[in-house]
Structure 1
Amino acid sequence: MSIGLLASTAVVLATALLVHVTMIFLTLAPANVLKTRDQALIDSYVQPEFGQDWKLFAPNPKQRNDAIGVRLRTTGAHRVQHVSGWVNLTDQDVTAIKGDPAPSHTSQNMLRIAWDNSEALHGPDNQPKGVRGVVAGAYLKRIVLQRVGHRWRGETITAVQIAGRYTMVPPPSWTGEETPDTTTYRVLPWWPVTGQDYKGL
């Protein structure tokens, strides 16, 4: 291979690397003239292969604590129905990683993201917003059923009711701000459970 070809290849690779680093930098950088002017070009390069869901220069952590729970309707002997108490699935996830030197947040993140997606794709009346809302609700239900299993205390699960509890994260003591003391809830309607919901679990 000639020196000229090697030099040309090096220039092409260096240019490609420079373009890539510049595009990633611009997509993460705070708003500026260049980013505003060329936003469509930047997005067309970065999405979807190099998309980021974090901010390098201005991190935006969650400002509330979410807890997701479920209660179950079951059918026992002589077709008698029972309703369980609330089971705090988020608390189970937190308990599972406490004291673990290398904890995995996979289950916790899966549940939280499924809840967030379902919440965003359902209206205030808890009706799904189109097909994506139906799919998001079914996905959330399957994740919950994966956690609780096919039966609850020896009885067949026939329906689930999922709810979220939101508590604002208290501000740092040095800010002098009041600690919010409000806790809000979102309780979804009962969703029937069939054998199809367990398919593949």
Structure 2
Amino acid sequence: MSIGLLAAAAVVLAAAVLVHVAMIFLTLAPPNVLKVRDQALINSYVQPEFGQDWKLFAPNPKQRNDAIGVRLRSTGARGALHVSEWINLTDQDVTAIKGDPAPSHVHQNMLRIAWDNAEALRGPGDRPNGVRGMVADTYLKRVVLQRVGRRWRGERITGVQIAGRYTMVAPPSWTSEEKPDTTTYRVLPWRPVIDQDYKGL
């Protein structure tokens, strides 16, 4: 191979490295004229192979506190229906890991992921959207039933209602941001519970 071809290859390689470094830099840089103007081009180059986020070091920092709860409908011996108070499942998970030098987040993550998927895959009328939505909804119900069991205060559980509570994380004391004072809720419709729901639990 001639010196000319080697020099040309080196120039092309150097140009490719410069373009790559520039694209990664623009992805991570604060908003600026180039980034705003060429956002689509930058994204098409960076995603998905060179995506930059906190997952390299830790999960993406949460901007809000999410709590997932459930209330139960049970049937008594004479057919009387009873509805429980809301049970905060997220609070149970947090209590279970507090003070543990080697805590497991398996249950906490399982509940959170099941809720996120079921919530995202809902369509008109707050019903599961398509087959994936139905699978996600059923999975969420089974995760909850695994926690609460088959009976509530001695009565058979015949229905569940699952909800999420979202509270924005307060800003640090050294900033001028105002503390958010709103809490929002997402309450899903009641779902019947049958013996098939407990299969394999």
> Is the pair's TM-score, using the shorter chain for normalization, greater than 0.5?
yes
> Does 2:143 correspond to 1:143?
yes
Aligned-pair CA distance for 1:126: 1.1
- 1:103 equivalent in structure 2: 103
Aligned-pair CA distance for 1:175: 1.0
What is the alpha-carbon root mean square deviation over aligned residues? 2.9
Q: Which amino acid aligns with 1:93?
A: D
Question: Partner of 1:119: helix, strand, or coil?
Answer: helix
How many pairs does the alignment contain?
Answer: 169
Aligned-pair CA distance for 1:52: 9.2
| Normalised TM-score (structure 1) | 0.75
Identity across the alignment (%): 74
The one-character-per-residue Cα deviations of 1:2-27 (angstroms, maximum 9, x if unpaired) are xxxxxxxxxxxxxxxxxxxxxxx99x
- 2:198 equivalent in structure 1: 198
> Cα 1:53–1:192, aligned 2, differ >3 Å: closer, same or farther?
farther
- 2:187 equivalent in structure 1: 187
Aligned-pair CA distance for 1:57: 8.3
The one-character-per-residue Cα deviations of 1:107-148 (angstroms, maximum 9, x if unpaired) are 001101110111110136311111111000000000000000
> Cα 1:56–1:187, aligned 2, differ >3 Å: closer, same or farther?
same
- 2:162 equivalent in structure 1: 162
> Cα 1:52–1:154, aligned 2, differ >3 Å: closer, same or farther?
farther
Unaligned runs of 5+ in 1: 1-24
Q: Which region of structure 1 is more displaced relative to structure 2, 69-78 or 58-67?
A: 58-67
| Normalised TM-score (structure 2) | 0.75
Unaligned runs of 5+ in 2: 1-19, 29-37
Q: Measure the CA separation in 1 of the matches of 2:91 and 2:43.
A: 42
Question: Partner of 1:181: helix, strand, or coil?
Answer: coil
- 1:67 equivalent in structure 2: 67
Question: Larger radius of gyration, structure 1 or 2?
Answer: 2
- 2:79 equivalent in structure 1: 79
